Amino acid sequence: MKTVSLREITPENWEAIHKLAVRDDQKNFVASNLYSLAESKIFPNHVPLAIYAGEQPVGFLMYTYVDERKEWWIFRLMIAAGEQHQGYGRAAMQQTIARMRALPGCDRIFISFEPENAPAEQLYRSLGFLPNDEIWGDEVVFRLDPPEDVEALPK
């Protein structure tokens, strides 16, 4: 597994994070990081994080608690075009799941994605997410149920 760290977005790194982008053919799958950062300022429950490999920013993710639904969600996951297929997304998701599981009341975690985004579906299924038989907007919803054994939490 790749070693990554999740870091707060700061005045020192926000420009590098907002400049990260996916490939052109993936732009319909995820909002830009700049849009997500703006969204996080409007919705205080949103937690934006930079994904770093060493000292190099390689991606972005954001999780949140959705008050209306009383649910925890991973809202964004993006790995920059030149950094994909190196395990950074998996490692970041594992850390995020562990971080979220430590929050009070966070037992089930939801995520949604465009139905034609097969790599996202493959990643989320491999991490234990299952279809929730729901469409939110134009996206399919998957959920990660609580582990039956605390030792089964992603490391």
3-state secondary structure at position 48: strand
- List the structure tokens of 139: 């996206």
Rg (CA), the chain: 15
Contact, 74 vs 51, CB < 8 A? no
pTM metric for this prediction: 0.89
CATH code, domain carrying 27 = 3.40.630.30
Q: Is the pLDDT of residue 153 over 80?
A: no
Collapsing DSSP to helix, strand or coil, 55 comes out as: coil
pLDDT number for residue 155: 47
The count of domains in the chain is: 1
Q: Which domain holds residue 131?
A: 5-152
pLDDT one-digit tens code per residue, 102-142: 999 998 999 999 999 999 999 999 999 999 988 988 899 99
d(CA 120, CA 56): 23
pLDDT, one tens digit per residue, over 38-83 is 999 999 999 999 999 999 999 999 999 999 989 999 999 999 999 9
